[in-house]
Structure 1
Amino acid sequence: MINATDLTLLLAAEGGEEKHNPLLPHTYDIVWSLVAFAVVLFVFWKFVIPSYLKVLDERRDEIEGGIERAEAAQAEANAEKAKYREQLAGAREEANKIREDARAQGQQIITDAKTTAEAESDRIVAAGNQQLEASRQQVVSELRGDLGKMSIDLAEKLTGESLGDSAKASATVDRFLAELDSSK
């Protein structure tokens, strides 16, 4: 069996035509290839390349916009961080001030409590001293009366006489007690 290329070569050899180099294409192949290439090039140039460039531009804008948004977000985050640190520093200062005020108030309360306690203690001691002095005066007065009565009874027993005159007896007892006080 003879194929198409062999047939073409045979016909060309019989007709006396020049032999064609099989490595070089025929002219009509080159022309039609150029026409097909021009059509494909035109379609690519008119439709594919602009849409491809459009997609590339969109992606570039999206990437650049993303970078800009990221930088803006980073700047905003840094500003918020700085603001937070300032607020934190202010809160720490306020906490220190409150702590110092509380310490000062605590010291004042302690001082006031000590002063009040000392005043109350002094008042209680003074009241106790007054009560003690009043009790002592009462005891001394009762003892003087008892001592006077006992002295009169003793004097009556010693002298054998009745000392019925109360004024005289009272004067004698007072004189005796004054002598006792002065002998101390």
Structure 2
Amino acid sequence: MGVAEYIAELFAFAIIVFFVVRYIVPPARKAMRAQQETIRAQIERAQETEKRLAVAEAKYADALVEAREEAAKIRDNARADAQRIVEEMRAQADREVERIRQRGEEELANRRQSLMRELHAYLGQRSVAVADRLVEEHLADAGARSATVDRFLDELDAMSARDEAATSEPSLVASKGES
């Protein structure tokens, strides 16, 4: 039984191999090919995606550089605008300070004039009141009154003597000039 068994086992093995080759290998190859095609397509998509990713990263880097440049421009413009606004505000504040200073000086001058008028009026009233009081006190004393009247009469006499001397001098000068 050795050979017949061996041949029977060989024949059974050949039939199994035939069924495997005929019915199992083609669908397995087909499935493997489909799987390989799927893997190849995925690899191609991955490579294409990598290329698109590289392009997108380059665009992103360019956009980032451009955005930074634009931000720097905007920041510089904002600083320039801020500086211009500060200068305008300072100029406006200087004008306002000058206007307030002038108004203050005008108000001070007006106040000074008003105070001077009030002071002159007050001093005038006080002077009249003091003079009135002094005259009343002076005239209240009978001796002082008669001394004042005498002095007034003496002053009138002195003035008339001067007037007479002044009128007589031109005639003296004229008589000396004729000689």
TM-score tier by shorter-chain length is 0.5 to 0.7
Aligned twin of 1:101: 77
Aligned twin of 2:61: 85
Counterpart pick for 1:125 among 101, 119, 122: 101
Distance 1:74 1:146, change over 3 A: same
Q: Are positions 1:111 and 2:87 aligned together?
A: yes
Following superposition, the deviation at residue 70 of structure 1 comes to 1.4
More moved, 48-57 vs 119-128: 48-57
- Aligned partners of 1:130 and 1:35: how far apart in 2? 134
Aligned AA (1:130): E
Following superposition, the deviation at residue 54 of structure 1 comes to 1.6
- Aligned partners of 1:140 and 1:35: how far apart in 2? 147
- Aligned partners of 2:129 and 2:17: how far apart in 1? 158
Q: Are positions 1:54 and 2:30 aligned together?
A: yes
Following superposition, the deviation at residue 110 of structure 1 comes to 1.5
Counterpart pick for 1:143 among 119, 125, 128: 119
- Aligned partners of 1:37 and 1:114: how far apart in 2? 106
Higher helix proportion (structure 1 or 2): 2
Distance 1:148 1:53, change over 3 A: same
Following superposition, the deviation at residue 121 of structure 1 comes to 0.9
- Report 1 or 2 for greater relative contact order, CA contacts < 8 Å, sequence distance ≥ 6: 1
Aligned AA (1:65): A
- Aligned partners of 1:145 and 1:69: how far apart in 2? 108
Aligned AA (2:100): I
- Aligned partners of 2:58 and 2:102: how far apart in 1? 65
Distance 1:152 1:62, change over 3 A: same
Can you list the C-alpha shifts for 1:112-170, whole angstroms capped at 9, x where unaligned?
22111111111111011111111222223333444455289659959x69xxxxxxxxx
Alignment of 1:67-86 (within 5 A): 67-86=43-62
Unaligned runs of 5+ in 2: 139-147, 150-179
TM-score (norm 1): 0.56
- Aligned partners of 2:73 and 2:60: how far apart in 1? 20
- Aligned partners of 1:147 and 1:35: how far apart in 2? 156
- Aligned partners of 1:34 and 1:106: how far apart in 2? 99
Unaligned runs of 5+ in 1: 6-21, 162-184
